[in-house]
Amino acid sequence: MHRTVMQRIGKSKVTKLKAKAGVVYPLIRLPKTFADEIGKVAEIFETQCDGRRALLVTFENRAEPSEVVQPDSKVIQLLPKVIQLQSRKSIESRFLELESEIKQLRETLFSNETEDYTKNENKWARSDSNA
């Protein structure tokens, strides 16, 4: 009889996957160290462990042909890479450009408000009845 020891490999919150309207599946993510299991068929068994509900997942030795992971594909990392800007100088130039555009927008808005105010004031002004 072949016996193996069960060991804890991680912790994952069960989330939901909405495949289509009205259909929701529970989703458990495996640690990235199990990336070689991608594309394989998994069998899931329900059991008990220390009086709690437990799931046992086994994998077939071969992957489905349509889902074999290509050697050049990358596994999503736990901490994704942050896109870095080219340099601090480019950040400063972008801020200066944004400030300039905001200034132009303000000037346009204020000039339009002044014109509208002048038009409305003249429109509603009473004519001098003493003339």
What tens digit of pLDDT does each residue of 81-91 get? 555 545 566 77
Work out how many domains the chain is built from and give that number: 2
pLDDT in tens, 4-63: 677 888 899 999 998 888 899 999 999 998 888 888 889 999 988 888 898 888 888 876
Contact 55, 43 (CB under 8 A): no
Same domain, yes or no: 19 and 54: yes
Once rounded to an integer, what is the mean pLDDT over residues 56-74?
65
Residues spanned by the domain of 63: 15-67
- For residues 62 and 97, membership in a common domain is answered with no
120 in a domain, yes or no?
A: yes
Whole-model pTM: value is 0.43
Asked whether the predicted pLDDT for residue 76 surpasses 60, the reply is no
In a domain, 7, yes or no: no
pLDDT per residue as tens digits for the range 109-121: 888 776 666 666 6
- Whether 115 is in a domain gets the answer yes
Torsion of CA 90, 91, 96, 98, to 10 degrees: 110
